């Protein structure tokens, strides 16, 4: 048996129950043998994972869903898969939760959110349907999960059509409760092909009315906005979204589509605006973050999780029957009006043996951690006059690595994946540069997990996320530099327990 190489539309939209069981078993088996499988990140059992959905806290547990196409590493007919957790670290596989099995979602149960109402977790999603001419229809749907984990989909949509003047590129409802009303934000496109976010509100999710577009920027957001997501951090709105086709003069970016945000003073429900919004900012300065979803947890935190992967880009693990993963859980905070993203505090639970490291930077590369198994956390502090390179996924000869170029004198960090094995997406550039404060110390907190790396800069002021697909020998950490010194710690990180 072989993996499928040529994915036609017919194959991608074939109902799951028409797939041969032998093929499915073969696929699962192939995926299990992939050397790039992850230890503590949520990943698909087979096929393709994309957006996180329905992130919530219900029945004493964290609930998280994600977009999945289980039959191969392509965007086929999507479902929601479900995982749950008691500690935000170990995620139990609950299986497929919402299947594309009704007239309102037969070509995909697309992205959405979750909200606890009374004794239920209510899931809001987009039903994607194609007609015989492959024209899209989008329906906004609800499903209800009870405490036994049983999920029942509503029979009819809560929003059966986009409002007048908008196309059927209309999806990813975020539902929340605010000032005694229910609200729904949704990604949309005008008939003039401009990306918008639309607002609905009402006394219940079943009785929403269309209010109008959300005003959050004076600029044009390209041809489509996906995955709008409003959270409140210290009462201030932080609005996350994914504009497609955004003019780079508005915000510079190199990924095919960026995941962006604005921070505002308040959400003005009368004028449907975010007051005094910041300029548009890039949520992640690395290569691979999209569709981040955040929610206000009952414990007061704003928790976020991202899709690590991008639309319309091929990845090396495709050849092993799977693609993409979710990020670790991040806490959003505001300090002096600036957004910070920190690894959720629960992640310390992954830490195993600890090693201290440090010294002066010198021109000859020095291995500071050898044979890591590529499952570790690394915290490093650099002095204010440091210039050098940190190599992750380094092979013993120093031919290959993921390089972090740091220059605290001139205030720059460059993440360079030009020297990694199994390079991909090179059309979008092989480096990402971030400016940091000049002549100031620098701290890095890095999570490496086999084929994914998340780098938190200066306590979460910026994050750079990237996939890397190393060969077996690329497991060292080494450092070199012209000036400065560094000190820090590393921990081996355990696997998550997923049952």
**Active-site amino acid positions:** 51
Q: Which is nearer to ligand FRU, 97 or 291 (CB)?
A: 291
Say if strands 412-416 and 402-407 run parallel, antiparallel, or are unpaired.
Answer: antiparallel
Identify the residue among 153, 171, 417, 467 touching ligand FRU (CB under 6 A).
171
Identify the residue among 67, 273, 306, 450 touching ligand FRU (CB under 6 A).
67
Q: Which is nearer to ligand FRU, 171 or 417 (CB)?
A: 171
Closest approach of ligand FRU to the CB of residue 128, in Å: 7
Say if strands 195-202 and 181-189 run parallel, antiparallel, or are unpaired.
Answer: antiparallel
Q: Which 348-367 positions form the footprint of ligand FRU (CB under 6 A)?
A: none
Q: Which is nearer to ligand FRU, 111 or 403 (CB)?
A: 111
Closest approach of ligand FRU to the CB of residue 112, in Å: 8
Identify the residue among 78, 153, 324, 417 touching ligand FRU (CB under 6 A).
78
Identify the residue among 110, 139, 267, 340 touching ligand FRU (CB under 6 A).
110
According to the binding rule CB under 6 A, does residue 375 interact with ligand FRU? no
Identify the residue among 199, 246, 291, 448 touching ligand FRU (CB under 6 A).
291
Range 162-190 burial, b when 16+ CB lie within 10 A, else e: beeebbbbbbbbbbbeeeeebbbbbbbbb
According to the binding rule CB under 6 A, does residue 226 interact with ligand FRU? yes
Q: Which is nearer to ligand FRU, 175 or 390 (CB)?
A: 175
Identify the residue among 126, 278, 375, 490 touching ligand FRU (CB under 6 A).
126
Q: Which 293-312 positions form the footprint of ligand FRU (CB under 6 A)?
A: 311
According to the binding rule CB under 6 A, does residue 292 interact with ligand FRU? no
Q: Which is nearer to ligand FRU, 140 or 372 (CB)?
A: 140
* Cα-trace Rg, the chain: 22
CB 166 within 8 A of CB 214: no
Q: Which is nearer to ligand FRU, 208 or 308 (CB)?
A: 308
Q: Which is nearer to ligand FRU, 290 or 456 (CB)?
A: 290
Closest approach of ligand FRU to the CB of residue 375, in Å: 27
CB 417 within 8 A of CB 386: no
According to the binding rule CB under 6 A, does residue 172 interact with ligand FRU? yes
Identify the residue among 47, 49, 51, 113 touching ligand FRU (CB under 6 A).
51
Closest approach of ligand FRU to the CB of residue 5, in Å: 22
CB 455 within 8 A of CB 342: no
Dihedral over Cα of 223, 70, 14, 108: its sign:
negative
According to the binding rule CB under 6 A, does residue 407 interact with ligand FRU? no
Closest approach of ligand FRU to the CB of residue 306, in Å: 11
Closest approach of ligand FRU to the CB of residue 291, in Å: 5
Closest approach of ligand FRU to the CB of residue 351, in Å: 32
Identify the residue among 43, 111, 421, 475 touching ligand FRU (CB under 6 A).
111
Closest approach of ligand FRU to the CB of residue 72, in Å: 14
According to the binding rule CB under 6 A, does residue 196 interact with ligand FRU? no
Q: Which 239-258 positions form the footprint of ligand FRU (CB under 6 A)?
A: none
According to the binding rule CB under 6 A, does residue 50 interact with ligand FRU? yes
Q: Which residues form the interface with ligand FRU (CB under 6 A)?
A: 50-51, 67, 78, 110-111, 126, 171-172, 226-227, 290-291, 311
């Amino acid at each position: 048996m072989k993996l499928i190489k040529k994915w036609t539309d017919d194959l991608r939209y074939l109902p799951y129950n028409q797939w041969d069981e032998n093929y499915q078993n073969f696929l699962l088996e192939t995926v299990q043998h992939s050397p790039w499988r992850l230890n503590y990140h949520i990943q698909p059992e087979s096929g393709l994972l994309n957006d996180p959905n329905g992130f919530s806290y219900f029945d004493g547990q964290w609930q998280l869903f994600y977009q999945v196409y289980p039959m191969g590493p392509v965007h086929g007919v999507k479902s929601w898969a479900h995982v749950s957790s008691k500690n935000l670290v170990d995620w139990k596989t609950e299986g497929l939760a919402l299947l594309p099995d009704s007239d309102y979602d037969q070509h995909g149960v697309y992205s959405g959110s979750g909200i606890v109402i009374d004794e239920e977790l209510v899931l809001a999603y987009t039903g994607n349907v194609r007609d015989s001419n492959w024209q899209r229809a989008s329906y906004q749907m609800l499903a209800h999960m009870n405490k036994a984990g049983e999920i029942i989909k509503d029979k009819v949509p809560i929003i059966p059509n986009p409002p007048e003047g908008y196309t059927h590129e209309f999806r990813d409802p975020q539902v929340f409760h605010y000032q005694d009303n229910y609200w729904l934000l949704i990604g949309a496109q005008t008939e003039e092909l401009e990306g918008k976010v639309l607002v609905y509100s009402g006394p219940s999710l079943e009785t929403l009315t269309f209010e109008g577009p959300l005003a959050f920027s004076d600029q044009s957001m390209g041809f489509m906005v996906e995955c709008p997501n409003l959270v409140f951090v210290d009462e201030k709105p932080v609005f996350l979204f994914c504009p497609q086709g955004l003019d780079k003069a508005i915000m510079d970016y190199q990924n095919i589509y960026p995941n962006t945000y604005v921070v505002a003073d308040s959400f003005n429900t009368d004028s449907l605006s975010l007051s005094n919004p910041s300029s548009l900012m890039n949520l992640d300065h690395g290569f691979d973050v999209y569709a981040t979803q955040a929610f206000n947890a009952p414990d007061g935190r704003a928790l976020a999780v991202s899709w690590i992967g991008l639309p319309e880009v091929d990845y090396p693990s495709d050849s092993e029957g799977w693609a993409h993963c979710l990020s670790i859980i991040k806490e959003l905070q505001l300090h002096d009006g600036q957004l910070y993203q920190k690894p959720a505090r629960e992640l310390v639970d992954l830490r195993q043996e600890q090693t201290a490291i440090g010294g002066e930077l010198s021109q000859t590369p020095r291995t500071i951690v050898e044979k890591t198994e590529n499952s570790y956390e690394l915290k490093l502090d650099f002095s204010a006059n440091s210039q050098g390179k940190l190599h992750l996924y380094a092979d013993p000869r120093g031919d290959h690595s993921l390089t972090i170029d740091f220059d605290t004198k001139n205030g720059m960090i460059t993440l360079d994946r030009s020297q990694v094995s199994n390079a991909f997406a090179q059309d979008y550039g092989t480096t990402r540069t971030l400016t940091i404060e000049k002549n100031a110390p620098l701290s890095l907190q890095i999570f490496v997990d086999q084929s994914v790396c998340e780098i938190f800069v200066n306590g979460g002021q910026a994050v750079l996320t990237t996939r890397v697909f190393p060969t077996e020998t690329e497991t060292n950490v080494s450092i070199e530099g012209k000036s400065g010194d560094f000190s820090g710690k590393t921990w081996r990180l355990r696997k998550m327990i997923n049952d």
